[in-house]
Structures are given as structure tokens and as C-alpha cells.
Chain A
Amino acid sequence: MPQGQVLEFSGLTKRFGAVSAVDGLTARVEPGLVTGFLGPNGAGKTTSLRMLLGLVRPTSGSATIGGRRYSDIDRPLQTVGAALEASSFHPGRSAANHLKAYARAARLPLSRVDEVLGLVGLADVAGRRVGGYSLGMRQRLGLATALIGDPGVLVLDEPSNGLDPEGIRWMRSLLRHLAEEGRTVLISSHLLAEVQQTVDALLIISRGKLVFQGGTEDLADPDEYSTVVDSPDREALSRLLDERGIPFQLLRNGFTIRHIEPLEIGTLAAGAGIVLSHLQSKGASLEDIFLELVSGVRTHASAANPVAAAPTEAETVDAEAPAPAPDPAPSTDLVPVAPAPRSFAPPTAPEPETRRSYAVASTGVIDIVPVDDARAEDTEVPR
């Protein structure tokens, strides 16, 4: 059984001219888990993976597999299997010959070619030229190329791209199975939803920097919840919420109010005599958290060097402006800057002042909220 290896990025940096594609990425990927490597397009995922695989030279820092750089691994394909894009094939070459070329380069028995073709479900079309393959078939061939050496580490860039729903399910169960065997599986994606059901752990990067590292269960904060409420008389309800200074978001399915229990909203509505048609508690959406992390609105302690923009900006504003900063954006979708959820607090993380709270709108605008303001109630950093 091939052994999984720990992947380690330490201070990995790649600059193209003045632009930092990857900026001081430090992270660890453990064997036996499926780890999702997430970030928006252009966040530096592919560049990081290419540096891990020795295809791109880091400007500084290093990326190692089991403590060794890729170029120092004796039998690379038997150690690491990678599929980086769905089009690394000569269109005039058959799938079987494509695999044969790399089996020979890695000194593998040619029987592996048929084995992996069968594994990814391409046995019937093995002799056909890759030029006639669909995107899904190319993805499968890419996976077959990655698996040819039966490696302990798998690195896949956007593996479910182009797969049909059945293919995606198949890919998920295969990756889960490979991880359960003790292998290291790292898959990148720009969509959390795409990998949410597959991965055990997450690395999230944004603009080349790590913004989250940890289990999927660490991503969602149980203290973060919202209430969805609706009324036949939406005007009255919104007036009531405005009067009380409760920020809300009006969506098709009703008002979404963060950090306030349904009981409180129900009590308020009852007091004002407003009929409710809907009242429900809702957990924080992982997708929202993900988007806030990558946009820098939210920071997470797991990032060794968190995107400093939001907190430092907040501190600057804090020092200069005692009055609430005007919010030019119509959206008052306020979320807390949460530097220290539960036990993850790093010793260096600045604790928010007890007498004052600040919040950041999803637009990135920072509000200073005096504690006597009614808003403070729902914008306080959850403890």
C-alpha cells in the first residue's frame, strides 16, 4: 500500500514582476484526508500546486512532499500523482499510448495502463484519439495519468470540472476511498459547494494568501446564526426592525436577521401586533463564510498570517474616528470581524475593546459601533 505523505507549504511565494501570485503561503496537508484547496479564480491555487510539483520555481519559500522537494523524489509518479488541467494531451495520441508514454518514463509495468483505464472507466475508448474526447473523458484520463504510479499523494486541480453529476459522484467516492486508504488527497476548486461533500479539511487562499486552514466543521461558527422571518405586511415589519435599529436583509423568502434568536423577533412582532407568516432559525451558510473569507471581510485565526487588511483598517479607523463612519453602501449586511472564535485564538490576536465594537459590511466598509448603540447587541464579536 502506497504511503500518504504530508504536504508542507512554508512561506511559499511566487512573484510575477510586481504581482504576487502566491504570497507567503504556509500550510500543511495531512494524509488520510481529502483536503480542499479553495479560492476564487486567480487566487494562486494552480501556481501553488505547480510549485509543489516542481513545475514553477518559487520566488522564495518551499513546498515539500514528505519533507522532500518534488525534484528530489526518487520515483515521482509512484509517490505523487497529479492532474493539473484537462488538456495535457496530444490530441492525435490514444489514451492508452498517452498512459504508456508516462508508464515507461516512470518504469512502471505496462499492465498499469489497462488497470487505470479500467479504474476511470475509459477501457472501451482506450484506443481512440484523445482529440475526440469530451471534457469529462479528458478529466478521467487526467485522473488515470495521476493514478498510474499508484501514488500515496494525489494532487488534482479542479477535478470535477466538466464531469456530469454521475461522474462527480463517482469522483467523490473514489477520492474518499483513496483517502481512507491513508493517501493524501489535495483537490482544488473555486467553489466550496463543489467540494463541500467530499472534503474533510480545507485550505482557503485569497490573493495568494492563506485565509483559512482547518476542518470543514471549524469553518462554520456555531455562535453564528440568523433568523428568517416573513410577514404578509412586510412594510410594517421592516418599519419595526428599522425602529429598533435591527439590520436585516430582505430576500425573496423574507427578512434575514443575523445574530438574533427567533424568539426575540417573534416577541417584537407580537408586541407590535404584526402577523408573521414565517419564523425560522438558520445556521450560517458555509458559502457566505467562504465568500467573506476570500473577500477579506472575515478573517480566521487559523491563517498563520491572516489577510491583515480588515483588522488594521479597523484599528486605524478606531483610532481616528470616534463617531460612526458613514456607510455609503445601501446594504447594511453587517458581519463581525471574528479574530478569535473559541479556542482558536492566537496569543497575538488583538482582542476587541470591551467598550466599543466594530463591524464590517460585506462591501468592506468598516463601521465603529458605540456600545450604547442598539446595534452593538447584534454586532458584537461572538464569544
Chain B
Amino acid sequence: MSLVASTRSEYTKQFSTAGWWVLGIVLVVYVGFTAGVLALAFGGVASGKLPGAEGPTPSADGLAGLVYSSASAVGYVFPLLAGTLMVTTEFRHKTLTPTFLATPRRGVVLVGKFAIGILVGLLYGILGSIAAIGAGAGVFAAFGLDTELGSSDTWVLVGRMLLAFALWAVVGIGVGTVVRNQVAAIVIVLAVTLFIEPIVRTIAGVLDGLDQVARWLPSAASDALVGKTIFGAVGAGGADPLVWWLGGLVLLGYAVVLVLIGLATTWRRDID
């Protein structure tokens, strides 16, 4: 009962400020642009319409999935940020005081945040998928290539991306409970997702041994969950990625570990 109340309260909090739609718009633009450019490049090479293209010609088969999955490959940072902000804004604006006054059992508050985090993750997953498929399929159609929209593989891919987005939002909530300083949390999230992970995964592609470690990184696990992604195709070529369900479990594991650390530290602390 109080879980429902807490979730409804979190729903009101989440959708009564501008943050969610600002992030949503940036997500759509970013993912749409990335998918469009990828489709243009691959589609141009595959159809032979791009002059001067050299090297191995990617087969037209499976190109669509590669392009559509850019929604999660580059867009996962958005549910991650949204989840992080759900917690750190409460610290930043001291709204944790009225929140804990209304719901003194702090764990209940966190469960409400998970529910809304998953909802926001799914929402972003849908937005990201629409943007990637809209831009990608549009370009493919222009090249006269198969958009694969009728293929069940495409829709399985979309389903897994939604799952990945939801998990990323929960990971974000975990990050927020561990790093309560909003600026620090955002910096950490961006640094890890934009620099550290891509660099480690790229080096792992050429360095033996490291690839065994790199495939357990959160973004690699996320890519494994989704199936095929552009990063998997060009970067970490060494070790085989995890099986898709193991990728999902690894991502969930990151979320659980972060939340447990947060629950044991920040979430128990005095609120002042």
C-alpha cells in the first residue's frame, strides 16, 4: 500500500519538472542523428552508391539491426542519467527531507524510485527506438535497401533494447544513492560512459587478456543483452560477447551492487 503511494509520489515528482523531457529530446536527436549517419554510411557502401568506398563491403544482411541498435549503443547514457538525477536532485534541493517525512521507511522510497525509473527507462527506450528506426529505415528506404521492419529479429532487438534501457535507469538510481553530489555523479557517469569504457573496450580489441575483462563492463554487458551493436561490430573484436541473457544479468548485477552500497551508506545517513 505504501509502496503504491510512494510510487505515485515519485511519478508526480518525476514528471512535474522539465528534466525528463529535456533529456528525452536530446536522446531523440542524438540517437536519430547517429542512426541516420550510420545508415547513410553502411547503406551507401552496401548499395554501392557511395563513391570511393573501399574495404570489406558489409553484407546488406543484418545491417538494419546494427543501425537500429544504435539506440541503446549510444543512447544508454540517457536512462542512466535520468536514474541518477532521480536521486541526486533530492539531495541537491533538500527535498529528501519532505520525502522522508512523508515516507519514513526509506527503503520504500527507493522501491518507488525503481518503479518510476523503470518506467522512464522504458519510455526512453521507446523514444530511442523510434528515433533510430525512423532515421535508419528512412535512409535504407532511400537507398532501396531492406528496412527489415517486417522481420521478427528487429522487434526482438527492440524488446531487448527496452529491457536494457530499464536496467540502465536502475543502475542510474544505484549511482545516485552512492554518489549523492549531483555534479560529481553527472561527471562520473559521463566520464565512465564517454571515455573510460570506450577506451578500455577499444584497447581490449587489440590487447589479449584485457578482452576477457572488458566484456564484463556495463556497456559491454548492455551490448551483449541487445545482441548486435555498432561498438561490438567495430570495436571489441577479441573475446566473444556474453550471451544475451547473461549480459542482462550482469547489468542487473551492477544495479543491485550499487543500490546495496547506497542503502548501506548514503541512504541510512542523517538528513540535514
- Show the binding face of A for B, using Cβ within 8 Å: 46-47, 50, 53-57, 70-71, 73, 76-77, 80, 82, 84-85, 87-94, 97-98, 100-102, 104-107, 145
B182 CB to closest chain A CB (Å) equals: 12
Given the interface pairs A105-B102, A105-B103, the reply to whether A55 lies near B18 with Cβ below 8 Å is: no
Given the interface pairs A50-B271, A71-B104, A91-B93, the reply to whether A105 lies near B6 with Cβ below 8 Å is: yes
Choose, from B7-15, B130-138, B201-209, the stretch at the interface. B7-15
**Which chain A positions have C-beta within 8 A of B99?**
102, 105
B271 CB to closest chain A CB (Å) equals: 4
Q: Does B95 contact A (CB under 8 A)?
A: yes
Least CB separation from A91: chain B residue = B93
Q: Does B265 contact A (CB under 8 A)?
A: no
Least CB separation from A16: chain B residue = B270
B267 CB to closest chain A CB (Å) equals: 13
**Which chain A positions have C-beta within 8 A of B9?**
101-102, 104-105
**Which chain A positions have C-beta within 8 A of B51?**
none
Q: Does B89 contact A (CB under 8 A)?
A: yes
Given A97-B12, A102-B102, 7 more contacts at CB 8 Å?
A: A50-B271, A55-B272, A56-B272, A88-B95, A100-B12, A102-B98, A104-B12
* In the complex, the 4 A-B pairs of residues with the closest C-beta atoms, listed nearest first: A105-B9, A97-B16, A105-B102, A56-B270
A88 close to B98 (CB less than 8 A): yes
Proximity string of chain B (1-37) to chain A, C-beta cutoff 8 Å, 1 when within and 0 when not: 1100110110111001111000000000000000000
A258 and B131 alpha carbons, distance in the complex (Å): 83
A369 and B98 alpha carbons, distance in the complex (Å): 55
Q: Does B155 contact A (CB under 8 A)?
A: no
A54 close to B5 (CB less than 8 A): no
- Show the binding face of B for A, using Cβ within 8 Å: 1-2, 5-6, 8-9, 11-13, 16-19, 89, 93-95, 97-105, 270-272
Least CB separation from A96: chain B residue = B16
**Which chain A positions have C-beta within 8 A of B270?**
50, 55-57
A106 and B5 alpha carbons, distance in the complex (Å): 7
A73 and B104 alpha carbons, distance in the complex (Å): 9
A53 close to B101 (CB less than 8 A): yes
Given the interface pairs A55-B270, A56-B270, A97-B12, the reply to whether A90 lies near B98 with Cβ below 8 Å is: no
**Which chain B positions have C-beta within 8 A of A53?**
101
**Which chain B positions have C-beta within 8 A of A84?**
97
Least CB separation from B100: chain A residue = A55
B16 close to A93 (CB less than 8 A): yes
Least CB separation from B271: chain A residue = A55
* Residue among A50, A90, A100 having the largest count of chain B Cβ atoms under 10 Å: A90
B102 close to A76 (CB less than 8 A): yes
A89 close to B93 (CB less than 8 A): yes
B272 close to A50 (CB less than 8 A): yes
A55 close to B95 (CB less than 8 A): no
Q: Which listed residue, B1, B13, B104, touches A76 by the CB 8 Å rule?
A: B104
A77 and B89 alpha carbons, distance in the complex (Å): 22
Least CB separation from A53: chain B residue = B101
A140 CB to closest chain B CB (Å) equals: 15
**Which chain B positions have C-beta within 8 A of A55?**
97, 100-101, 270-272
